[in-house]
């Protein structure tokens, strides 16, 4: 009888166990491609996925591909790149895993050259419906992890198993502010998974706030990505592979030395 009572108690407790669900398990992969009117890929374009309470910043690869992990919901997506009219997806819906979520054609921004001048003229944002063709024809453009810019160069893997640190802009062993190299004060920092899909993002001011910290729900391999800008135009991404362990107890004091130009 006693054994039977114990069995019943254990069975009851088992039924009360609440499974642990990681926030990352609720993120859905979203991928798209940006091209110009000739069909050529547009690299380093900035996309801001804006939800009601949060925003995620991502950039296209050298192949014009953008890949993010996003929670289900509706987003206002703003797409910008120098020389092209800013485009908005007013009501972009994420509701299921969709590797080929969108394909957007950016139109060249009219310039004063067309009117007898020489300087690009800012135009209003072009609004595009989110009901876009669900096809990315160029198979090569899908290979978002095989990017042939600074992201593939041999930056040192950080041994510190955390996702926090401080950024410094350095040419060799000489470090200075971005302005020393003709760059903007703003630096975007992205957290990507090992498949180069953007998970989180932060925007830093080199003069005011150079420290950043991300959090992840699981141990594993990640990428810390830095996007420098020059006159508002994104430079090629600088990527540092890193690991993450939630059990780490030491302070996260990594210094990420980002070169102002893509090294040869």
**Which residues, listed in sequence order, are joined to residue 95 by a DSSP beta bridge?**
none
Q: Which residue has the tokens 């302005």?
A: 179
The whole-chain average pLDDT of the chain stands at: 76
Among the residue ranges 9-13, 89-93, 116-120, 206-210, the one predicted with the least confidence is: 9-13
| pLDDT value, residue 99 | 60
- Per-residue model confidence as pLDDT tens digits over 235-249: 888 888 888 887 777
| pLDDT value, residue 151 | 55
| pLDDT value, residue 130 | 44
Work out the widest C-alpha separation in the chain, in whole angstroms: 97
| pLDDT value, residue 120 | 41
Radius of gyration of the chain (CA): 22
Are residues 156 and 245 both part of a single domain?
yes
Q: How many domains does the chain have?
A: 2
> Residue 111 pLDDT more than 80?
no
End-of-domain residue from the set 142, 174, 202: 142
Strands 238-244 and 255-258, by their bridges, are unpaired
> Residue 21 pLDDT more than 90?
no
Q: Is 198 exposed, middle or buried (0-12, 13-18, 19+ CB in 10 A)?
A: buried
Cα 117 from Cα 170, distance rounded (Å): 38
SS3 call for 5:
helix
> Residue 24 pLDDT more than 60?
no
| pLDDT value, residue 206 | 92
End-of-domain residue from the set 142, 171, 198: 142
Are residues 131 and 62 both part of a single domain?
yes
> Residue 187 pLDDT more than 50?
yes
pTM over 0.75: no
Are residues 75 and 175 both part of a single domain?
no
> Residue 14 pLDDT more than 90?
no
Among the residue ranges 25-34, 50-59, 78-87, the one predicted with the least confidence is: 25-34
Are residues 32 and 138 both part of a single domain?
yes
Domain extent, residue 243, equals: 150-258
- Average of per-residue pLDDT across 137-149: 40
Which sign, positive or negative, has the C-alpha torsion 166, 194, 230, 174?
positive
Are residues 100 and 158 both part of a single domain?
no
| pLDDT value, residue 15 | 43
End-of-domain residue from the set 73, 108, 142: 142
- What percent of the chain is predicted at pLDDT more than 70? 69
* CATH number of the CATH domain containing 96: 2.60.40.1120
- What percent of the chain is predicted at pLDDT more than 90? 38
CA distances from 156 to 192, 213, 223, 254 (A): 17, 19, 12, 12
* CATH number of the CATH domain containing 159: 2.60.40
Are residues 111 and 206 both part of a single domain?
no
Cα 79 from Cα 47, distance rounded (Å): 5
């Amino acid at each position: 009888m006693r054994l039977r009572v114990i069995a019943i108690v254990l069975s009851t407790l088992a039924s009360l166990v609440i499974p642990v669900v990681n926030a990352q398990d609720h993120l859905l992969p979203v991928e798209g491609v940006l091209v110009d009117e000739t069909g050529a890929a547009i690299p380093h374009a900035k996309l801001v996925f804006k939800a009601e309470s949060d925003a995620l910043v991502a950039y296209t690869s050298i192949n014009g591909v953008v890949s993010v992990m996003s929670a289900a919901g509706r987003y206002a997506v703003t797409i910008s790149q120098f020389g092209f009219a800013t485009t908005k997806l007013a009501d972009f819906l994420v509701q299921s895993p969709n590797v080929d979520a969108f394909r957007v054609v950016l139109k060249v921004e009219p310039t004063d050259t067309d009117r007898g001048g020489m300087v690009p003229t800012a135009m209003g944002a072009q609004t595009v419906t989110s009901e876009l063709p669900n096809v990315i024809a160029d198979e090569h453009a899908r290979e978002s992890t095989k990017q042939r810019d600074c992201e593939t160069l041999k930056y040192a893997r950080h041994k510190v198993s955390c996702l926090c640190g401080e950024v410094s802009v350095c040419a060799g062993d000489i470090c200075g502010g971005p302005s020393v190299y003709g760059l903007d004060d703003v630096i975007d920092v992205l957290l990507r998974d090992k498949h180069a899909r953007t998970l989180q993002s932060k925007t830093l001011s080199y003069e005011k706030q150079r420290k950043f910290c991300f959090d992840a729900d699981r141990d594993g391999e990640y990428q810390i990505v830095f996007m420098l800008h020059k006159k508002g135009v994104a430079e090629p991404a600088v990527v540092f592979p890193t690991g993450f362990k939630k059990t780490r107890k030491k302070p996260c004091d990594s210094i990420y030395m980002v070169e102002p130009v893509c090294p040869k």
